[in-house]
Amino acid sequence: MRTTTHSTKDLDAAPPAQRGRPVHRPPTGEDPSLRAAYRLCRRITRVHDPGIYALIQLMPTVLRPPCWALWAAASVLDDLADQRDAQQAEREARVQAWTQALQCDLAAGTSTDPVRHALVNTALRWRLDLSSLQGAMTSTRDDVRGQHFADWAAWRAWCNGEIAPWVDQVQDLFERAGAPMTLRLERQQDYKRFIDGAQLTDILTDLSTDLAQGDLFLPQEALDAFPGAEDDLRQGSWSPATAALIRELTALARQWVTRPAMTTGMHPGAATVLNTAACLMRAQLDAVDAAGHALLKRTPRPSLAARTRILAPARIRSKLAWSLTPLTVPGPRPPTVTVSGPGPAAESTTLRPPPPHPDGARPPQIAADRMPAHVAIIMDGNGRWAEQRGLPRPEGHRAGTAAVHEMVYGALEIGLRHLTLYAFSTENWKRDTEEITTILEAIRRDLDEGPIRDLDVRQRWLGHPDKLPQELVQAFLREERRTRNRTGLTLTVCINYGGRDEITRTAAALAQAAQAGDIDPHLIGEDDFARHLPHPDMPDVDLLWRTGNEQRTSNFLPWHTTYAELYFVPHYWPDVDRRDLWQAITEYSRRQRRHGAVPRISP
Ligand code: FPP
The pLDDT confidence band at residue 183, using thresholds 50, 70 and 90, is low
Please tell me the predicted confidence (pLDDT) of residue 145.
77
Please tell me the predicted confidence (pLDDT) of residue 601.
57
pLDDT at 344 over 60: no
Cα–ligand 1 centroid distance for 386 (angstroms): 11
Local structure of 493: helix, strand or coil: strand
pLDDT at 570 over 80: yes
Domain spans of the chain, in order of start: 27-323, 368-590
**How far apart are the C-alpha atoms of 123 and 523, rounded to whole Å?**
47
Residue 273 in contact with residue 57, Cβ under 8 Å? no
CA angle 191, 197, 199 (to 5 degrees): 110
Please tell me the predicted confidence (pLDDT) of residue 115.
97
pLDDT at 543 over 70: yes
**Segment 234-284, tens digit of pLDDT:** 999 999 999 999 999 999 999 999 988 888 878 889 899 999 999 999 999
pLDDT at 503 over 50: yes
Please state the rounded mean pLDDT for residues 187-191.
76
Q: For the chain, first and last CA: distance in Å?
A: 57
Please tell me the predicted confidence (pLDDT) of residue 15.
35
Closest C-alpha to ligand 1, atom 24:
383
Cα–ligand 1 centroid distance for 380 (angstroms): 6
b/e 500-535 (16+ beta carbons within 10 angstroms → b): ebbeebbeebbeebbeeeebeeeebeeebbebbbbe
Atom of ligand 1 nearest to the CA of 393: 18
Please state the rounded mean pLDDT for residues 305-324.
94
**How far apart are the C-alpha atoms of 150 and 411, rounded to whole Å?**
36
Residue 446 in contact with residue 462, Cβ under 8 Å? no
**How far apart are the C-alpha atoms of 21 and 46, rounded to whole Å?**
15
**How far apart are the C-alpha atoms of 178 and 176, rounded to whole Å?**
5
Cβ of residue 401 lying under 6 Å from some atom of ligand 1: yes
Cα–ligand 1 centroid distance for 184 (angstroms): 26
Please state the rounded mean pLDDT for residues 173-193.
74
Please tell me the predicted confidence (pLDDT) of residue 259.
85
Atom of ligand 1 nearest to the CA of 422: 7
**How far apart are the C-alpha atoms of 369 and 373, rounded to whole Å?**
10
Binding positions for Mg(2+) are: 380, 565
Q: Please check whether the two domains, 27-323 and 368-590, share a CATH topology.
A: no
Please state the rounded mean pLDDT for residues 545-559.
97
Cβ of residue 439 lying under 6 Å from some atom of ligand 1: yes
Q: What percent of the chain has pLDDT over 70?
A: 90
Please tell me the predicted confidence (pLDDT) of residue 184.
56
Please tell me the predicted confidence (pLDDT) of residue 12.
38
pLDDT at 186 over 60: no
Q: How many helices (H) and strands (E) does the chain have?
A: 21, 6
Residue 47 in contact with residue 6, Cβ under 8 Å? yes
Nearest to 192 by CA among 262, 124, 268: 262
The pLDDT confidence band at residue 23, using thresholds 50, 70 and 90, is very low
Cβ of residue 382 lying under 6 Å from some atom of ligand 1: yes
How many Cα atoms within 13 Å fall on the side-chain side of residue 185? 22
Nearest to 44 by CA among 13, 87, 84, 88: 13
Residue 289 in contact with residue 254, Cβ under 8 Å? no
Local structure of 537: helix, strand or coil: coil
pLDDT at 21 over 60: no
Cβ of residue 462 lying under 6 Å from some atom of ligand 1: no
The sheet carrying 565-568 orders its strands as 457-462, 489-497, 418-425, 374-378, 543-546, 565-568
Residue 330 in contact with residue 121, Cβ under 8 Å? no
**Segment 475-497, tens digit of pLDDT:** 898 888 888 878 899 999 999 99
How many Cα atoms within 13 Å fall on the side-chain side of residue 472? 24
Cβ of residue 421 lying under 6 Å from some atom of ligand 1: yes
pLDDT at 516 over 70: yes
Cα–ligand 1 centroid distance for 372 (angstroms): 24
Please tell me the predicted confidence (pLDDT) of residue 160.
82
> Who has greater pLDDT, 249 or 8?
249
The pLDDT confidence band at residue 185, using thresholds 50, 70 and 90, is low
Phi, psi at 589, each rounded to 5°: -65, -15
Cβ of residue 459 lying under 6 Å from some atom of ligand 1: no
Atom of ligand 1 nearest to the CA of 424: 5
Cα–ligand 1 centroid distance for 567 (angstroms): 18
Please state the rounded mean pLDDT for residues 150-175.
87
Atom of ligand 1 nearest to the CA of 405: 15
**Contacting residues for 78 by C-beta, under 8 A, at least 6 apart:** 1, 2, 3, 4, 140
Please tell me the predicted confidence (pLDDT) of residue 333.
54
Please tell me the predicted confidence (pLDDT) of residue 531.
85
**How far apart are the C-alpha atoms of 440 and 141, rounded to whole Å?**
42
Packing angle, helices 32-48 and 64-82, rounded to 10: 60
Report the relative pairing of strands 457-462 and 489-497 from DSSP bridges.
parallel
> Who has greater pLDDT, 22 or 24?
24
Most confident range (mean pLDDT) of 161-170, 211-220, 383-392 is 383-392
pLDDT at 16 over 70: no
The residues assigned a catalytic role are 380, 428
Please state the rounded mean pLDDT for residues 354-369.
95
The CATH number of the domain covering residues in 27-323: 1.10.600.10
Residue 58 is given by DSSP the state: T
> Who has greater pLDDT, 600 or 595?
595
Binding positions for substrate are: 381-385, 393, 397, 425-427, 429, 431, 546, 552-554
H or E stretch covering 491: strand 489-497
Cβ of residue 496 lying under 6 Å from some atom of ligand 1: no
Residue 546 in contact with residue 337, Cβ under 8 Å? no
**How far apart are the C-alpha atoms of 501 and 485, rounded to whole Å?**
29
pLDDT at 513 over 90: no
Phi, psi at 482, each rounded to 5°: -65, -35
pLDDT at 362 over 80: yes
Local structure of 425: helix, strand or coil: strand
What is the DSSP code string of 243-300? HHHHHHHHHHHHHHH--GGGGTTS-HHHHHHHHHHHHHHHHHHHHHHHHGGGGGTS--
**Segment 403-414, tens digit of pLDDT:** 999 999 999 999
Instruction: Please tell me the least confidently modeled range out of 233-242, 352-361, 594-603.
Output: 594-603
Please tell me the predicted confidence (pLDDT) of residue 518.
77
CATH H-level superfamily of 368-590:
Decaprenyl diphosphate synthase-like (3.40.1180.10)
**Mean pLDDT (the chain, rounded):** 87
Cα torsion at 252, 255, 257, 258 (round to 10°)? 170
Please state the rounded mean pLDDT for residues 513-540.
88
**How far apart are the C-alpha atoms of 202 and 206, rounded to whole Å?**
6
Please tell me the predicted confidence (pLDDT) of residue 349.
53
**Segment 191-206, tens digit of pLDDT:** 888 999 999 999 999 9
Residue 382 in contact with residue 162, Cβ under 8 Å? no
